[in-house]
Structure 1
Amino acid sequence: MIPEEILDGFFPKDLSICRKRRLVESYQLGRQIGSGGFGAVLNAVCKTTGKQVAIKKVHKNNVPKSYTIHGKSIPAEIALLQHLKKHNNIIKLVDWFEDNNEFIIVTDWSPEYVDLFDYLTSRNPLDECCARRIFKQIVEAIAYCHGRGIFHRDIKDENVLINVKTGHIKLIDFGSGAFVEDEYTDYQGTKVYSPPEWVRYQRYSGWSLESWCLGVLLFIIISGEIPFETEEDILRCTPTLKRRRISLELTDLMARCMNIDPNKRPTTKDILEHPWTKGSQTYPQAHKTAPCKEINLAQYIIPNPNEKVEVVQ
């Protein structure tokens, strides 16, 4: 259980006031810009400030996780975003409402941002320098979440927005997020990102899940392809990457994140301190990088003499 005192300072004592405000009194609603199992996302303009925002409507029957605040059930997404206000790579909660059937979440938004899935689809596979700039921002956002005691639990390209002009990213959609627990036995994330321990045992730890998902996401950023299509692929844990030329440091980082042993995956601190994330690139000899050669990531883990490996009983 999460102590109420962690959250109650972010919310008024009388949460019934959220019912009394009317969405249409505060915002001029626009077109639909997204949708999902939760509901729809619209763009809108604040009538007071003139700023553009995103309006996410979540039907109460579709709220995946809630927390009790001042005796009232609040979607986890609202509670978590209130707790993550100060990082530039995390979407900002502007406002929220409640009516009889829905929770309405208002966040900042700009038409210059597109989701990373669409960004990658419209381009050829990114070079490593561009991929690094994007990936490092994502890891820094996740590291901040971990420092605040929160796991996102649905890291994927569709939950990352990127500014097409500046390359700045924002992590979005904390609907599956949760405060830190020792172990989780529920998973609302995307199936092809699920780790082998969830597929096999239906449980996982938060940090090892995030590390696995970051490895899958990095694979997609650099290749435009999904490393695992089926549960059998995930359990085999031998993704192959078809790419003409890729550095040893990059393959090493992906292999570490997508290690079948969750205890051996890196933390966000480890990822940020990895040679590839810090800018190192060492390419293998030309005859070993033939066009479209399949690379088994498990073969490319660079030994780290300082690494402490825990023995799994």
Structure 2
Amino acid sequence: MSHDLVAISANWEHLSGHYKLLNTIGEGTYAKMKWGQHIPTGTEVAVKIVKQQGFANLHRLLLREVSRLKALQHLNIVQLSEVIDNEEPFFLIMEHMSGGNVLDYLKTHGCKKAKEAQGVFRQLVPAMHYCHQRGIAHRELKLQNVLFNSKMNAKIADFGFSTKFSASKLSTICGSPFYAALELFLGHESDGPAVDTWRLGVMLYGVVPGTLPFKGSTWRQLGQQVLQGKYAIPFFLSLKWKTSKKN
């Protein structure tokens, strides 16, 4: 369904009348993702069920995610088909990504070969370039927010922390600290596309050895590693790959 035609409904009856909820495929602090089926067509979908009670500003973040997904139409960005803006809970009906997220894939199947990782990032980099051309920075790129469909094509998800950017710098720090860019640890304002590009680099490192480059239990510890550029390059990587990482 075209993002321009994303339907916005406002009642539980609409959900139960049009969608059959099946297994839970993921769960976070405030949201649960269920595998579902669109009853009239039999199409498989993912239903994001968000409980807003007790989470300040969550509704604003949800509307931001809806706005971004409606504005973005790219083969490697998860598609939104319908929004059910119930007071409690809030539902997002999205395309079903049966391959799960990259982090879970790595846990189950082990790290990817360098050539396979390159194939994944040939999909992600153009998708992020597409976002940046439209003035949108994701700001929460991480392995959990890249999903595989049944054909193992990678798609970017979760635009809740995304923002519109212009010539001015961004001052807000958000997202997982393990992917945070250098300038954030320095306390500087940041450039949206640059922050996303750094996060892509951290992810690229992560899919090959299966671990992230920077580790620490506190923001300070992470910052020290990032500022000093301290990370290990696994012995099994090719010389060409090691050189590209260093550059």
2:162 aligned with 1:170: no
Number of residue pairs aligned between Structure 1 and Structure 2:
235
2:53 aligned with 1:66: no
2:15 aligned with 1:23: yes
* Aligned mates of 1:238, 1:162 — CA distance in 2: 31
> Does the Cα contact within 8 Å between 1:37 and 1:62 map onto a contact in 2?
no
> Does the Cα contact within 8 Å between 2:97 and 2:148 map onto a contact in 1?
no
**Secondary structure of the residue that 2:171 maps to in structure 1?**
coil
- Cα gap change, 1:120/1:79 in structure 2, threshold over 3 Å: closer, same or farther? same
> Does the Cα contact within 8 Å between 1:59 and 1:102 map onto a contact in 2?
yes
Q: TM-score, normalised by structure 2?
A: 0.85
Alignment gaps of 5+ in structure 2: 217-221
* Aligned mates of 2:138, 2:190 — CA distance in 1: 14
Which residue of structure 1 aligns with residue 68 of structure 2? 80
Larger Rg: 1
After superposition, give the CA deviation of every residue in 1:216-265 in whole Å (9 maximum; x if it has no partner): 001001211110112222222222212323233x33443xxxxxxxxxxx
* Aligned mates of 2:172, 2:51 — CA distance in 1: 20
Looking at both structures, which has the greater relative contact order when contacts are Cα pairs under 8 Å and sequence separation is at least 6?
A: 2
2:109 aligned with 1:146: no
**Secondary structure of the residue that 2:68 maps to in structure 1?**
helix
Q: TM-score, normalised by structure 1?
A: 0.68
* Aligned mates of 1:65, 1:80 — CA distance in 2: 14
> Does the Cα contact within 8 Å between 1:54 and 1:107 map onto a contact in 2?
yes
After superposition, give the CA deviation of every residue in 1:171-191 in whole Å (9 maximum; x if it has no partner): 111111112242222233111
**Secondary structure of the residue that 2:10 maps to in structure 1?**
helix
* Aligned mates of 1:45, 1:116 — CA distance in 2: 23
Which residue of structure 2 aligns with residue 241 of structure 1? 233
Which residue of structure 2 aligns with residue 108 of structure 1? 95
> Does the Cα contact within 8 Å between 2:45 and 2:93 map onto a contact in 1?
yes
- Percent of aligned positions that are identical: 25
| Cα displacement (A) at 1:29 | 0.9
* Aligned mates of 2:97, 2:110 — CA distance in 1: 24
Alignment gaps of 5+ in structure 1: 1-8, 68-73, 255-296, 302-313
* Residues 7-22 of structure 1 mapped to structure 2, 5 A cutoff: 10=4, 18-20=9-11, 22=14
| Cα displacement (A) at 1:146 | 1.1
Structure 1 runs of 4+ with >4 Å offset: 9-12, 62-65
Which residue of structure 2 aligns with residue 220 of structure 1? 206
| Cα displacement (A) at 1:108 | 0.6
Which residue of structure 2 aligns with residue 273 of structure 1? none
What is the letter of the counterpart of residue 68 of structure 2? L
| Cα displacement (A) at 1:207 | 1.1
